[in-house]
Amino acid sequence: MLQRTTRGMTKTVLVAGGAGFVGSHLCDALLARGHRVICVDSYLTGSEDNIRPLENHPGFRMIEKDICALTSIDEHVDEVYNLACAASPPQYQADPVHTMMTCVVGSGNLLAIAESHGASFLQASTSEVYGDPEEHPQREDYRGNVNCTGPRACYDEGKRAAEALCFDMLRSGRVDARVVRIFNTYGPRMAPDDGRIVSNLIVQALKGEPLTIYGTGEQTRSFCFVSDLVAGLIKLMEVDPNPGQPVNIGNPGEFTINELADMVLAMVPTQSRIVHHPLPMDDPQRRRPDIDRAKELLGWEPKVPLAEGLRQTIDHFISVMPSNRQGVRFTPAKTRKPLISDLSLGV
């Protein structure tokens, strides 16, 4: 029978993808709560800069490894958070096979580790499991409209497969698995080149370049500030009993991309103007979470309004950009293409 770690006690927590944008904020929050944190990251899209302030923290340990090759941890862990996957279309489409294997093989490896330690497990899924939705807003019982053979399928279908693994492990009594469906998230530590709409527009404005909008710009998104998301992740991990169903975490405020661009132009002194490009294949037209389940089960809802969050995010990008606006400092991602034959589910 699955056992829950006593709430409130000091725990050892494994955070896969802990050097990433969201993962590093989660590491900070867990350490602030008095827990020990083991961060696992390949630095494929994560950054050493995000966790450098934690290097000398007595409760922090870093393991540089791809979760597709991670089969064990040499100390006991109480909880496992799986945030390890490229999350923006340019990143996950750069190596779609590795993206799929990260979602399936990597998640399987982490579930096996959680099972061997009797640890609770939280899978970071995505609103992309809903595809280009025909239901609005998106409720967790909506089964989605996903193109399973398109260029986004490596991520969309990979995350759907990871969800299936989690719930099979839960139903079989092997792992106390929980699944969160994350909607668009933004905030400090976003990479300037990650290809997400918020970072794209802010960096372009700060550099005085044209702001790129795909399609008409009337497609909508809902933007959740990273601190709100992290609070939701922790609440879902700690809630007892296990909800036994996926939970949307996101901000239900809905904005068109044109509205977001106008906000950025109003907040950044720039000569930038908007330019339009063709809409990418399978790009969702509307995106807004129904968060009634999160409110009811977790007592969670977002607190940071978009204007306040954008200001903090703009300040972050100003701090990492050179004063002459001739470029953005960042470390290029590593290229890793593990052979499928070298990988196993491990569950």
Residues marked active site are found at: 155
Go through 295-334 and write b for each residue having 16 or more CB atoms within 10 A of its CB, e for each that does not. Answer: eeebebebebebeebbeebbebbeebbeeeeeebeeeebe
The closest alpha carbon to 90, from 336, 333, 340, belongs to 333
Structure tokens that stand for 185 in this block:
């998230």
Whether the CB-CB separation of 88 and 196 falls below 8 Å is answered with: yes
DSSP 16-29: ETTTSHHHHHHHHH
3 to each of 7, 8, 74, how far by Cα in Å? 12, 15, 21
The closest alpha carbon to 186, from 289, 84, 309, belongs to 309
Give the span between the Cα atoms of 10 and 6, in whole angstroms.
9
C-alpha triplet 256, 262, 263: angle, nearest 5° = 95
For residue 269, the one-letter residue type is P
Whether the CB-CB separation of 347 and 53 falls below 8 Å is answered with: no
Instruction: State which H helix or E strand residue 49 sits in.
Output: helix 48-51
The closest alpha carbon to 255, from 183, 316, 155, 152, belongs to 183
